[in-house]
Structure 1
Amino acid sequence: MIPSNGTPSKLRTLRPWLITAAAFAAVALLIMWLSAAPDPAPQARGGRPGPGMGGGPGGAMITVSVAPVVQGDLPVHYHALGTVTASNTVNVRPRVNGQLVKVLFQEGQEVKAGDLLAVVDPRPYQAALAQAEGTLLQNRAQLTNAQTDLQRYKGLYAEDSIAKQTLDTQEALVRQYEGTLRTNQGQVDDAKLNLEFTQIRAPIAGRLGLRQVDVGNLVTSGDTTPLVVITQVKPITVVFSLPQQQLGTVAQQLTGSQPIPVEALDRSQNRTLATGTLMTLDNQIDTTTGTVKLKAKFVNDDQRLFPNQFVNVRLLAETLQSVLTIPANAVQRGNDGTYVFVAGEGDKAQRRLVTLGTAEGERVVVSEGLKAGERVVVEGTDRLRDGSQLRIAGSPDKAPVAANGDKPEGAARSHAGKGDGKAQ
């Protein structure tokens, strides 16, 4: 007996819609499952997988770049920050007091030792010289007269005409005048020297700086402000510091007969400003920094180095003979030490532990683990494993990209196959 509320009639009415919705849900789940499933079509057709499709042994090839292990000489350089210093620096000051009446130099001028730079008013010193010379002449005449009297007294004493005391007194007077004459001569020499100092001359050869005192000013020998500063820039020196760990190598090279080359580089270290040689090193290590100072000498004929200029210094410490070197970016580090990947026979990756030595720039010395001529992987090492199949970048036996930028035919077929699979 059917209930009066009509429920079976409603179920018969909704049944077709429920069946249709369940069918649509099943189809949607099937499409999602097919889209998420991996496409085995390329390998089923024997196609070559791309570089991003695997990385383990027996998997897809991995494209890498390699570099050979090179055997040869490796120059080892030490780098430091240095300060250019003039070989000699002189603050030119007057040595006498007076008014500055002449300035005979141009700022920035190159001068030689002895060149006249300025003149102090010489008239007071000319007068002092004349006075000292007059006193000298006066005392010289007195000495001459005393010496004449002494000769006369000696004759009279021989005839027993005068007392011995009179002769002794005359001899003492002569010695007194001789001492006075020496004093007068010193005063004359001092006056001449002061008169000479009124002409201010360059004590060294070098380049003049800016003028500090103008004509007409009173100058004294005690002035703290110099007239001008002379710096000797040809040759010129560079002072720099190296860690004490590098001192032994440099000291050993410095005792040899060959000079140690030193380069002064610009701020970016891309351009060499000058090339010179190491002169000496300091006699003690700075305990606060653990470094030692060194000084290098540069000819500087082109004056590319300037006093107090900061430069980057590159010193050739030594040259390692016949060593094996590889690019530094080929070195990897793991729990068991440093290692590299070697492209072995059949272009298969071989993980090789290595012992490293001195690093110089972008290359590093390998003391154990490699042989000359072997190829090490420098790019593409992130997905490598021991035994991975390698595809060497740039090798002619690998399928290249077409010159017009299109993909190779095999790759096009592979992608077409994938599209067909999805369409199905």
Structure 2
Amino acid sequence: MLLAAVVAAATATWYFLRPAAQTSAPSGPPRPMMGWGGPVPVKTVPAERGELDVRLRAIGTVTPLASVTVRSRVDGELIRLAFNEGDRVRKGALLAEIDPAPYRVGLAQAEGQLQQNQAQLKNAETELARYRLLFEQDSIARQQVEAQEALVNQLRGTLKSNQAQVDDARLKLGWTRIEAPIEGRVGLRRVDAGNLISSGDSEGIVSIVQTRPIAVMFTVPERDLATVREEMARGRSLEVEAWDRDDRKPIASGVLRTFDNQIDTATGTVRLKAEFANADDALFPNQFVNVRLAVRSIQDAVTIPADSVQFGSRGSYVYVINGGKANIRPVALGASDGVKVVVEDGLEGGEQVVLEGLDRLREGSNVILADSDGSMEGGIRAPGAPGAGGPAAGTRPSGAPSAGAGAPGTPAASSGAPGGPRPGG
């Protein structure tokens, strides 16, 4: 019994401590290492030579060229509204009407007083003519003539006052018809017909904004003001584009009209005003838009994407690909349109500049260039690209161990001993 137990223990020790069976490695070409110890996958773009439109970018607010709150000039009952909310109205169009009856009565009273004084003046002028004739005949004293002349002048003054009262009454009667002071779009009404309104109401009846044309207000840094002023002084019409809030789609195109007369010391910016025809009403008052102001055009310039530029202690630089290696190239930058930047010195047109994969690059790093579909040169795909990362799930390369077989250098996971039944004890 003791001998059998010793033999069984030795056999178990040999089984569990033996070297793992060697299996054949997967067939196929070896894959290069992609990481800190191997070639770095990158995407490059060529430095282009051509024309670049320098554009200033800003956030703007759509502002009507004119905005009016329509209020009544007289007091009374609002008997009619003659507009539909949201309609476009022309200048002089009827918007509302106040009960005109009290003002017609006031006009009639003023006209009656005027007519009465006209009759008195006519009689006084007739008397004055008679007094002058009698004075020439030495029949009356000069004092009577002078008194009559004073009466005539007094009645003439009263007549002017009566005429002014008539004009005032007629003017107030006209104000009972409220007309549009400008052309534009009306908003929502703020009072309904049947209400008593007053000339002191601050809310008014409705508002009108001019939307054709319309303006966009935006700011630019003070360092760019000199360029804008210089181009406008040359008589150039600077184009301004308004883009949607996501900065993906252009909404309208206009021209720069003017700029403010002072710089805001708190922000270091200056306000500019652009005008848009807005025939399709694409711009709406108080809407926020992204603004692109075309300042000037640079001819025969070498340009690269702004995202490819790196900044270090010695200035700006880019990674240039030469012979499968990445090399640092210092560059002198010029104007930019927000997407591309001009390289004034350090690059020539056609050189390949790294755009993606910059975070793992060093001077002299080996690189693998990505195609537009994410694959690498030589048939090797970048990590994350379709087909990258080895065989598809559920398949194994030719010669690879089947499920349950031990991997190279690891114990077998099956329950049976290789080559026969496991010895028992």
Structure 2 length normalisation: TM-score?
0.79
Query: Which one of 304, 320, 328 corresponds to residue 342 of structure 1?
Result: 320
Q: C-alpha separation between the residues in 2 aligned to 1:179 and 1:382?
A: 93
Where in structure 2 are the equivalents of 1:73-152 lying within 5 Å? 73-152=51-130
Please say which of residues 325-334 and 71-80 is displaced more in the overlay.
Answer: 325-334
Q: C-alpha separation between the residues in 2 aligned to 1:24 and 1:127?
A: 121
Task: Give the CA deviation at 1:400.
Answer: 3.5
Task: Give the CA deviation at 1:112.
Answer: 0.9
**2:346 maps to 1:369:** yes
**2:284 maps to 1:306:** yes
Query: Which one of 169, 181, 202 corresponds to residue 191 of structure 1?
Result: 169
Match of 1:411? Answer: none
Match of 1:7? Answer: none
Local SS of the residue matching 1:269: coil
Match of 2:134? Answer: 156
Q: C-alpha separation between the residues in 1 aligned to 2:377 and 2:216?
A: 54
Task: Give the CA deviation at 1:290.
Answer: 2.2
Q: C-alpha separation between the residues in 1 aligned to 2:79 and 2:36?
A: 90
Match of 1:353? Answer: 330
Q: 1 or 2, which has the higher helix percentage?
A: 1
Q: C-alpha separation between the residues in 1 aligned to 2:120 and 2:12?
A: 151
Please say which of residues 60-69 and 366-375 is displaced more in the overlay.
Answer: 60-69
Where in structure 2 are the equivalents of 1:161-180 lying within 5 Å? 161-180=139-158
Q: C-alpha separation between the residues in 1 aligned to 2:320 and 2:400?
A: 35
Task: Give the CA deviation at 1:303.
Answer: 0.9
Local SS of the residue matching 2:210: strand
Q: C-alpha separation between the residues in 2 aligned to 1:406 and 1:195?
A: 85
Local SS of the residue matching 2:263: coil
Quickly say closer, same or farther: Cα 1:105–1:390, change in 2 above 3 A.
closer
**2:185 maps to 1:207:** yes
Task: Give the CA deviation at 1:217.
Answer: 1.3
Letter in 2 for 1:307: P
Match of 1:230? Answer: 208
Quickly say closer, same or farther: Cα 1:212–1:49, change in 2 above 3 A.
closer
Match of 2:43? Answer: 65
Contact kept? 1:51, 1:63, Cα under 8 Å: no
Contact kept? 2:74, 2:199, Cα under 8 Å: yes
CA RMSD of aligned residues (A): 3.8
Quickly say closer, same or farther: Cα 1:22–1:353, change in 2 above 3 A.
farther
Where in structure 2 are the equivalents of 1:263-302 lying within 5 Å? 263-302=241-280
Q: C-alpha separation between the residues in 2 aligned to 1:384 and 1:97?
A: 78
Q: C-alpha separation between the residues in 2 aligned to 1:97 and 1:53?
A: 82
- What residue ranges of structure 2 are gaps of 5+ in the alignment? 390-396, 402-407, 410-425
Aligned residues: 389
Please say which of residues 379-388 and 196-205 is displaced more in the overlay.
Answer: 379-388
Quickly say closer, same or farther: Cα 1:258–1:142, change in 2 above 3 A.
same
Letter in 1 for 2:271: K
Residue-by-residue CA offset, 1:115-145 (whole Å, 9 max, x unaligned) = 1111111111111111111111111111111
Local SS of the residue matching 1:233: coil
Kindly, what percent of the aligned residue pairs are identical? 47
Quickly say closer, same or farther: Cα 1:333–1:16, change in 2 above 3 A.
farther
Q: C-alpha separation between the residues in 1 aligned to 2:195 and 2:8?
A: 119
Local SS of the residue matching 1:151: helix
Match of 1:50? Answer: 32
Structure 1 length normalisation: TM-score?
0.79
**2:238 maps to 1:256:** no
